[in-house]
Amino acid sequence: FSLESPRVLVAVAGRAASFQVDPVFHNNTDSQLEATFYFPLPEEASLSEFAMWINGKKTKGEILERNQAVAIYEDIVRRMIDPGVLEYVGRDLIKARIFPIPPRGTQKVQVCFESLVQVEGQLAQVNYPLRTPSGLAGTTSDLTVAAEISSPIPIRSVYSPTHQVDVTTSGDVTIAGFEEH
């Protein structure tokens, strides 16, 4: 499978940052696949939602104790129903098992989380980890990141240490983002 066109939306208001990540998995084979997706969370982030699209409809997941989640997931897979299971793998990494990804088809998921904006003096910092553990299958194409920053205090500049960002400001709202193809 490949990971295609991930879209990241960030909303920053005061000291809170909300993230919505919409990865799409594409099955490049003629067989039904199960994907294991590792997703890094920023330090001190809190997961707020996990969802999959089943028959074109967004279906929210619930966070369960690991053994209970795995047992339910394996039972659903045996019955060939569309499940997804999400678990924490350490403090800042989650693992999602996604089934099925149809032959030559796609499966969209959504991960939402919240984190605090790091503030030091007049500098505010929001982190989104673009790293993934090495050795994982799949490729990424067409990454889009957009951030909407609401602040009654005028923002002097927006900077990314890794990507060239486009920035526009209108009143108390600054929009920053980039697209990578």
Digit-coded pLDDT (tens) for 7-20 = 999 999 989 999 99
Burial 145-181 (b: 16+ CB within 10 A, else e): bbbebeeeeebeebeeeeeeeeeeeeeeebebbeeee
Residue 66: per-residue pLDDT: 58
Whether residue 157 is predicted with pLDDT greater than 80 in this model: the reply is: yes
Residue 77: per-residue pLDDT: 55
Residue 91: per-residue pLDDT: 67
Residue 135: per-residue pLDDT: 45
Average pLDDT over residues 82-106: 75
Whether residue 147 is predicted with pLDDT greater than 70 in this model: the reply is: yes
Average pLDDT over residues 25-31: 93
Structure-model confidence comparison of residues 85 and 150, the more confident one: 150
Residue 38: per-residue pLDDT: 83
Whether residue 78 is predicted with pLDDT greater than 50 in this model: the reply is: yes
Q: Reply yes or no: is the peptide bond before residue 23 cis, omega within 30 of 0.
A: no
- Assign 40 to helix, strand or coil: strand
- Class of residue 111 by CB neighbours under 10 A (exposed 0-12, middle 13-18, buried 19+): buried
Average pLDDT over residues 44-53: 88
